[in-house]
Amino acid sequence: MTLLLSPNAWWVLLSMLILGVASGMIGTLAYWKRQSLMSDALSHAALPGVVIAFAITGVKALPILILGAALSALIGAFLVQWVVSSSRIKEDTAMGIVLSVFFGLGIMLLTIVNRTGGGNVSGLDGFIFGQAASMVRSDVYTMGILGLLVIAVVYAAFKEWKLYLFDPQFAKGIGLPSGLMNSLYTGVLVLVIVIGIQAVGVILMSALLIIPAVSARYWTHSFKWMLIGSAFIGGGAGVAGTLISTMGKGWPTGPFIVVSSSAVFLVSLLFGARKGLVVTAIQQRMQKRSPRALPAEAEKSMVKEGGLQ
Amino acid sequence: MQGLAVTDLSASYRKNNVLEDVSFELPQGSLTGIVGPNGAGKSTLLKTMLELHPKLSGTVTFAGAPLSKMRRKIGYVPQRGSVDWDFPTDALDVVLMGLYGAVGWLKRPKAGHRQQALQALAQMGMADYADRQISQLSGGQQQRVFLARALVQDAELYFMDEPLAGVDAATEQAIMTTLRELKGRGKSVMVVHHDLQTVEDYFDHVLLLNRRVMNYGETAEIFTKDNVYRTYGAGLRWRKEVPS
């Protein structure tokens, strides 16, 4: 528990809580935008930007590294769009290409910088699996403030996000600026990824986005509560993973966050109040016992046939 | 008050022309069916008029102003299959979305808005389903929710994309009653429609569409066997002449 003894400890935990909450919220947006995999591609795409930003400036200052990561991730997002619109390649394949090419490039650059840069660069390795304990006070502030900004954007436009995700065509029809919403969505997604990669790492950052949202889905039928639940699970996993990773010297943070959130997912999958496997099995058994208790909405709909074949 | 005027509207989809020089004028207080074969550009016409799909050329005006300036006066019912009904929300919440323009961006709906949404649901015979999960509604009930969402918009002009596709008979009647009532209140309604058997009963105007306007006008004059054959080409079953 070396971290808890340091003066930074509580600040690191607080900022991990904010990061987890922000990730959980953005993950819910990505889930309904059907872009869970996109978050994975973007976090991998951030790595070369981090290394290049460091190579150019020679200092390991988080704001500069975040800027590099954001640029690199945005280029990745743009490339995915470009590949999809200018070829027959589907989006999932395009994301697969961008993810591996950017990550490979990042590792290659990291190796070169490590060989030439001397001892100053050792901390960059932490961006792969995450090293929350390596954050200094100013890193914590940067992460916390940007995380709060992301949370505020989701909170303020809650009803707009819901409309945009549920029925984008209708949204556009009643005048919701869809171009702005698209940019805002990509903006908050990239922002939450780049502020998280130092602590969680580029490889596993997407887990903090995807797993809380999927877990929360098992507990509620309301978008609002899914958003809140996902924020709660994300925040919890962020704090728990960070705490566990401080128990051993040099233990990475990312994997422990993934293990924590996966534990919540497993419980949700089995015992979730909505669609949880155990609950569903009990419901089915009860229905078998009373075959007459059919739901009222099971009325057959008579499909009209047009005059066409 | 001038109605909807469309002049030389053209649009393409993946480099294929799907709409060519579409022109027509819609009188106020009319109920118009858009009829044509698959791939005729019926949905694309609605989307292009609403600027949801980019146009290549042409103009669309409503009451003399471009449609983009009249969004609050236009109600839109997308195809039921265009959204994911697994989305976690209830019927009332979907209807409330029709009021988001009136509520104002970044503001939360108030009790009055909720009341309006409940009334619209009641009008569609869905009062008992307000807090029902949308994933647990039947196809007909989902379509009624979409109609209720359009009703709360209190628009002057309505575009509806196949509201009668795959719904039960009771829902079809409920929707038609609502459309006739809208027409009675001087609103204009354009409906993409698939069922040739019911065109004469349901619509006072018909737009026969196959990439271009084949015929447009009052149903009694336009909806003839010759015109419909010309629109659909070969292979059409006309009424009950051919046993199915």
- Calculate mean pLDDT across residues A215-220: 95
CATH superfamily of B4-226: P-loop containing nucleotide triphosphate hydrolases (3.40.50.300)
- In chain B, residues with a C-beta closer than 8 Å to the C-beta of A174 are 71-72, 76, 98, 100-101, 153
CATH of the domain at A182: 1.10.3470.10
Number of structural domains (chain A) is: 1
Secondary structure (H, E, C), B134-149: HHHCCHHHHHHHHHHH
Residue ranges, chain B, pLDDT below 70: 1-2, 234-244
Q: A251: pLDDT confidence band, cut at 50, 70 and 90? A: confident
Out of A134-143, A221-230, A287-296, B143-152, pick the least confident.
A287-296
Quick one: pLDDT at residue A117? 64
- In chain B, residues with a C-beta closer than 8 Å to the C-beta of A301 are 138-140, 166-168, 171
Nearest CB to B100: which of A159, A298, A305?
A159
- Calculate mean pLDDT across residues A244-256: 88
Distance from CA of B41 to the nearest CA of A (A): 16
The strand pairing partners of B189, in sequence order, are B31, B158
Asked if A160 and B238 come within 8 Å (Cβ–Cβ), the reply is no
A43: in domain: yes
Domain ranges in chain B are: 4-226
A303: in domain: no
Q: Which residue of A has its CA nearest to B242?
A: A307
Is residue A84 predicted with pLDDT exceeding 60? Answer: yes
Asked if A305 and B38 come within 8 Å (Cβ–Cβ), the reply is no
- Calculate mean pLDDT across residues A12-41: 95
Q: A125: pLDDT confidence band, cut at 50, 70 and 90? A: confident
Quick one: pLDDT at residue A5? 62
CA angle, corner A128, sides to A191 and A249, nearest 5?
115
Q: A283: pLDDT confidence band, cut at 50, 70 and 90? A: confident
The chain-wide mean pLDDT, for chain A, equals 88
Asked if A307 and B106 come within 8 Å (Cβ–Cβ), the reply is no
A257: in domain: no
Q: A114: pLDDT confidence band, cut at 50, 70 and 90? A: confident
Count the alpha carbons within 13 Å of A174 in the hemisphere toward its beta carbon. 27
Q: Which residue of B has its CA nearest to A152?
A: B106
A291: in domain: no
A13: in domain: yes
Is residue A300 predicted with pLDDT exceeding 50? Answer: no
A297: in domain: no
A307: in domain: no
- In chain A, residues with a C-beta closer than 8 Å to the C-beta of B197 are 307
Quick one: pLDDT at residue A32? 96
Model ipTM value: 0.92
Quick one: pLDDT at residue A121? 60
Quick one: pLDDT at residue A303? 37
Range of the domain at A192: 2-205
Residue A164 dihedral angles phi and psi, to the nearest 5°:
-60, -35
- In chain B, residues with a C-beta closer than 8 Å to the C-beta of A160 are 100, 105-106
Distance from CA of B97 to the nearest CA of A (A): 7
Quick one: pLDDT at residue B244? 40
Quick one: pLDDT at residue B64? 87
